[in-house]
Structure 1
Amino acid sequence: MNFLEWKSSYEASPGVYGVSDCCLALADWAVANGYEDGAEDLRGAYQTEAQMYAIIAAYGDVVDIVGRCATIAGCKQIQRQTLGSIAVIGNPQNVYRQWGAIWDGARWQVRLKDGFVAISARPLKIWAV
């Protein structure tokens, strides 16, 4: 699937915790490309930022929870990003500065409340989609 077309359609709706946040966007992108929904059990499990961080803390950090979802979906970890690959980017020591992102070929795209934003950041782990 073409990422830019998918992105445009996806951000037509607002970002909502537990529905279409930065990490669930990764699972939605993978599903749009024929992968299993690795985040099915997380959908609707939280409605606030505090609830989201409580779930993340239960898994360790964002890398751990996205890694779990990527494994369930069947996405393979890779060393270098390619168009459409997913990742966790940000600070490895600060869970509040980690985001799920999709590589658009030039920069990481992170789903926030009002749509995607392009961010230049270090990927902590990357998976192929």
Structure 2
Amino acid sequence: MRLVYRIMHTWMATPFVWGQSDCCLGLADWHMLVKGGEDPAAALRGAYCDAVSCQQLCGWFTRPVEVIEDCLARVGGLPRVVAPEVGDVAVIVIPRKERPLPAGALWLGDCWGCKGPEGATTLSPTLVRPLACWGMDHAA
């Protein structure tokens, strides 16, 4: 099974829990699966328990790109890319009536995959806006 679908199945089978298995930590799990080594989000894992404490700890809702950049910097970083390839990661913005919602996402080739409250979801690129993308340099 292709690794991108393996991680999507893992996200589907795992409940969404802030600070344990959320969209940001899902990207860290993906990084460890592909690249191995240290957890890029080790400093965040288990350090918050809801949206409010997540924002207080790292600023996810106001500076999501910087949160991912900070995590990636801990493990040597990844290059930014303009056109993602399968397996690349991003921060996307999901439009909502209340306020736009940032989310960590994985490019699947024709849509974005996200870890969310319903497990895992796919989102059309026409419905979301990427804020930043990073190349995983991996044949996913």
TM-score, normalised to structure 1, is: 0.86
Q: Secondary structure at the match of 1:16?
A: coil
Instruction: Give unpaired runs (5+ residues) of structure 2.
Output: none
**Structure 1, unaligned runs of 5 or more:** none
**Structure with larger Rg:** 2
- From 82, 87, 109, the equivalent of 1:105 is 109
Deviation, structure 1 residue 34: 1.9
Which ranges of 4 or more aligned residues in structure 1 deviate by more than 4 Å? none
- AA partner of residue 72 (structure 1): R
More deviation, 109-118/59-68: 59-68
Percentage of identical aligned residues? 30
Residue 77 of structure 1: aligned partner: 80
The alignment covers a number of residue pairs equal to 127
- Quick one: which amino acid aligns to residue 49 of structure 2? Q
Q: Per-residue CA shift, 1:58-115, capped at 9, x if unaligned?
A: 8951111011112223322222111010000117xxx852111111111111111221
Q: What is the alpha-carbon distance in structure 2 between the residues aligned to residue 59 and residue 96 of structure 1?
A: 9
Map 1:1-129 to 2 at 5 A: 2-35=3-36, 36-57=38-59, 61-73=63-75, 74-90=77-93, 97-119=101-123, 120=125, 121-129=128-136
Which structure has the highest helix share of the two?
1
Moved more, 26-35 or 4-13: 4-13
